Chain A
Amino acid sequence: MTHNFPVLIVTVPLLSAFIISGLSWVKKSLCFPVALLALGTSVFCAIGLLFRVLDLGVVEYHMGGWMPPWGIAYRVDLLNGLMLVIVSLVALTNLVATHRTVVADFPEKHGTFYTLYVLFVTGLMGISVTGDVFNLYVLLEITSLTAYALIALGQPDRAPLASLNYVFIGTIGACFYLLGIGYLYIMTGSLNMADIASLLPPIYHSKAVLVAFIFCMVGVCTKMAFFPLHVWLPNAYTYAPDAATSVIAPLMTKVMVYVMIRLVFSVFLPDFSFHVLHISHAFVWLACLAIVMGSLLALSQKNIKTMLTYIIVSEIGYMVGGFWLGNRLGMSGAILHILNDAIMTLCLFLAVGNISYKIRELDFVHLKGLFRKMPITMAAFVAGGLSAIGVPPTCGFFSKWYLISGAIQAGQYGFMLALLFSSLVNVVLFFRIIEIAYFEPMEPHNDTTGLKGSIIEAPLTMLVPLLIVAVSLVVVGIYSGDIVTTLIAPILPKGIG
């Protein structure tokens, strides 16, 4: 049974998506339980798989029994194992937390929403688990298409346009990736990651491989919203429905960072990426630019959701820059930050979702006096903000620790300064909101219940997952050292300093 986990983790949600789609015609109330069951199974398989990988090292599953490189192989090592656990847990938490919002926002269509949701998660998990480059493209497109549709379900006047822009830019990105793997196929004749890695070394200096690398990286960077290819992100995430944003924002871009790491570690080996090509410095400088621009653009926003999306752009800069520093500390920081940023973004967007469920508007002016009305949600928001700023003992501090240490070790002081600048800007960003929520008395028109001064918190199904996520920010932070030593350090290839 356990040796089927790699494929179950993808097929169960996939088939459930079709079941939910059918159920949405017949009996809508069953859609949510089926989705819950599907994602619950995925969580179970992901955790089981992670333990197996901790025991065995690498777990492989050959689709249809065909041996690679003729068949598609699913290959799970510690990096994917970790990614699968992150994706499935975040998806499940968000599913539970946003059930009320979904039913409120889409009274007729929530079956459709859950179909798309489960398909989206299927795509993400497939990307994380596959060991075949073309399979990755297919799953990437499944993820993207469902994301486009999920986003388009938002505010009717802005969401379709934002989604269409995302379609254009996202398709260009995916097609670049497709082109890149096409070049790889021409040069090596294989589509299996491990196989390509063994076939590439003799031809490292050929131009076709260089072009393949460039196309793959540009494609992945577009999907990852790495500055300056980030322009689709703010609008798409702001106008999407809250339930969709809180699952897309923590996961989509992080899984793309994983793809970049996977391509560098397992396809174009680190030897090629760091030593044959000399682009790591350029990447780090671009990352500094991403961090600084993301922070600056976030400062000028008047809507809390848009502000958070620009913070995501900045965080992607952390991960890309940390990875391309090229040393163990930087890479550990980048991979740890994938975990930490997923939790942090989930916490922040769930809190914003709660606020939006109760208050309806998300411009800063409408947030006055929120600490009195929604103390628990705001406390979780503050916890997420502290993690973004990098205050111990939240997890954000520890990934910053590794990233800055890596920068010091690599001599990239520009990156260190960019990280510190971003922390300081985050202080301003979050304390601006905390100030508004703390100081001003509530606006009269926000007083929907007619009970002045009483607490109008979000319902329990929305609060409890949020609190669990907020607490896990601190717990993951405290256990960062263990996480790095048991899960992340073995991922890094031996040759990295």
Chain B
Amino acid sequence: MDVLIHHIIGKYNYWLYTILMMIGLYAMIAKNNLIKKLVGMNIFQTAIILFYVSIACKKGATIPIIEEHGGSVAGHAIRVADYINPLPHVLMLTAIVVSVSTFGVALALAVKIYQKYKTLEEDEILMRLRDK
């Protein structure tokens, strides 16, 4: 029972992201339609982004915007435990940009493929390639 609580429920965020990642990977590998594969790729990347964001969390802390306690901010020591770690969020902003660009490039490629083959199903495309 202890094991259940500690390893599974206590670390539910890691489990969630692992499951999301696996869903994304599954879609990339098993689905035939190119757009579905792309969406799977996006889910995979999003899972990793969520993983990073989750590790920034602290118990009882608030978003990392410094609250003013009257007077100027400088000169006051910041109580670190009051704010969640902003660094992973910042890193993930970059990662989201990367993810979006990759998705954009991949969609452009899918459009080109569609223009050429008039289908987005991978097995049909491969069959047409073999016929050439």
Residues of A within 8 A of B (CB): 134, 137-138, 141, 145, 148-149, 152, 156-158, 160-161, 163-164, 167-168, 171-172, 175, 178-179, 182, 185-186, 191
Task: Check B48–A164 contact: CB distance below 8 A.
Answer: no
Which residues of chain A have C-beta atoms less than 8 A from B84's C-beta?
Answer: none
Chain B proximity of A304: nearest CB distance (Å):
20
Return the contact of A148 from the options B28, B37, B55, B109 (Cβ within 8 A): B109
Question: For residue B126, which residue of chain A has the nearest CB?
Answer: A161
A161 touching B105 in the complex, CB below 8 Å, given contacts A138-B98, A182-B55: no
Which residues of chain A have C-beta atoms less than 8 A from B91's C-beta?
Answer: 134, 191
How many A-B residue pairs have C-beta atoms within 8 angstroms? Tell me: 71
A182 touching B52 in the complex, CB below 8 Å, given contacts A145-B101, A145-B105, A148-B109: yes
Return the contact of B102 from the options A138, A145, A156, A179 (Cβ within 8 A): A145
Task: Check A161–B113 contact: CB distance below 8 A.
Answer: yes
Chain A proximity of B89: nearest CB distance (Å):
13
Which residues of chain B have C-beta atoms less than 8 A from A178's C-beta?
Answer: 48, 95
Question: For residue B102, which residue of chain A has the nearest CB?
Answer: A171
Which residues of chain A have C-beta atoms less than 8 A from B41's C-beta?
Answer: 167-168, 171-172
Which residues of chain B have C-beta atoms less than 8 A from A182's C-beta?
Answer: 48, 51-52, 55
Which residues of chain A have C-beta atoms less than 8 A from B98's C-beta?
Answer: 137-138, 141, 145
Bound Cα distance from A185 to B45, whole angstroms = 18
Which residues of chain B have C-beta atoms less than 8 A from A145's C-beta?
Answer: 98, 101-102, 105
Residues of B within 8 A of A (CB): 25, 28, 34, 37, 41, 44-45, 48, 51-52, 55, 88, 91, 94-95, 98, 101-102, 105-106, 108-110, 112-113, 116, 125, 129, 132
Which residues of chain A have C-beta atoms less than 8 A from B109's C-beta?
Answer: 148, 152, 160-161, 163-164, 167
Give the interface SS of chain A, mostly helix, strand, loop or mixed: helix
Bound Cα distance from A148 to B103, whole angstroms = 12
Return the contact of A167 from the options B95, B102, B129 (Cβ within 8 A): B102
Question: For residue A182, which residue of chain B has the nearest CB?
Answer: B52
The 26 sampled A-B contact pairs (Cβ below 8 Å) are A134-B91, A137-B95, A138-B98, A145-B102, A148-B109, A149-B105, A152-B108, A152-B109, A152-B112, A160-B116, A161-B109, A164-B106, A164-B109, A164-B110, A167-B41, A167-B106, A167-B109, A168-B37, A168-B41, A171-B44, A171-B102, A175-B44, A179-B48, A179-B51, A182-B52, A185-B55
Q: Could you say which of A149, A157, A167 has the most chain B C-beta atoms within 10 Å of its C-beta?
A: A167
Which residues of chain A have C-beta atoms less than 8 A from B95's C-beta?
Answer: 137, 178
Bound Cα distance from A494 to B108, whole angstroms = 49
Q: Kindly list the 7 A-B residue pairs having the minimum CB-CB distance in the complex, ordered from nearest.
A: A160-B112, A141-B98, A164-B109, A160-B109, A167-B106, A160-B113, A148-B105
Which residues of chain A have C-beta atoms less than 8 A from B44's C-beta?
Answer: 171-172, 175
